[in-house]
Amino acid sequence: MNKTAKTLSINTLKRGLISGINVTWELAKIVVPISFIVTFLKHTPILNIISEVFAPLMSMFGLPGKAAIALVLGNFVNLYAAIGAIVSLSLSVREITILAIMLSFCHSLPVETALAKKIGLSAIKVIAVRCSLAIIAGLAFNLFL
Amino acid sequence: MLTIILKEALLGSFSSIKNIIMIVIPIMIAMEILKDSGIFEKIADLFSPLVKIFGMKKESGFPLVIGILIGISYGAGVIFETAKQENLPERDLYLLTYFLVACHAIIEDTAIFTAIGANGALLLITRLFVASLFTFLASRIIKDKNKIKMSAEV
């Protein structure tokens, strides 16, 4: 690593503030529209249909069927999209923690798999490993939490 | 009907975003301070010998720790740079990437998940432990001579 002499200055604070605002902005850009869509679905029969379809699968993780929306968004889009769904679905702390551990292991698959592939790993193996870790962690948290 | 939905969605997401701002902005400022004061490098230097339990070169630990703390995109940049400078073995690259796809950006992720109500400490410990265990198992399976071809210049 090039160990260039780095110094702390007011620029450090400025950059921190800017990157904090950036993260918040990137997050808000996704959380607000997703939250709007999910809230909209809540007022239609669609959310109930999704809930019922996924209820048997999600119950293995101690999650309601509607939590599938957060898992799907988190994996196909990114964590911020999953956050947007989580905050609009009125879930309990336990349910949020289970979703969070599953999503931590497995999220943003299109972007992150491309990165891993660039380093030389097989895309299928990476996805298989991440999904397995998410499933095992979800089952374990449901069991012990 | 539409106004009720709009109001509910906006109020809900704004209050979550407010919680996220309260946690994320101080954490991002702290992260820049850690970066600029060289503390991240010190942490990475301190923990990098631990990768020996995976049978990896000490030098491979640096991009690993940076990726775990900061994130996978930033981590990938450091991986490419370190791989070039230190001539890291292919096996090390695979192992540290496997670790990182399972566990990265623990500072930002933990902050955000805690802000929306998850148990942050539990998340943090589980992610680190599981990723280490998985990488350890993988390190016993992936042999030095790897048949997989590098699909890109590193």
ipTM score: 0.89
**Which positions in chain B touch A115 (Cβ < 8 Å)?**
72-73, 76
B148 confidence band (pLDDT: 50, 70, 90)? very low
Interface test with A, best of B82, B97, B101, B153 (most A CBs within 10 A): B101
Q: Quick check: is B7 in a domain?
A: no
Mean pLDDT computed over A57-67: 97
Kindly state whether residue B5 falls inside one of the protein's structural domains: no
Report how many Cβ contacts below 8 Å link chain A to chain B. Answer: 181
What pLDDT does residue A128 have? 97
pLDDT digits (tens, 9 = 90+) for B102-130: 999 999 999 999 999 999 999 999 999 99
Structure-model confidence comparison of residues A40 and B152, the more confident one: A40
CB-CB under 8 Å, A100 with B118: yes
Asked whether residue B10 is domain-assigned, the answer is no
User: How far apart (Å, rounded) are the C-alpha atoms in residues B126 and B113?
Assistant: 14
Q: Among the residues of chain A, which ranges form H helices? A: 10-42, 45-59, 68-76, 79-88, 93-105, 109-119, 123-144
Domain count of the fold of chain B:
1
Domain that residue B52 falls in: 24-141
Cα–Cα distance measured from residue B141 to residue B5, given in angstroms and rounded to the nearest whole number: 53
In this predicted structure, the answer to whether residue B152 has a pLDDT above a threshold of 60 is: no
Query: For A23, which of B36, B108, B150 is closest by C-beta distance?
Result: B108
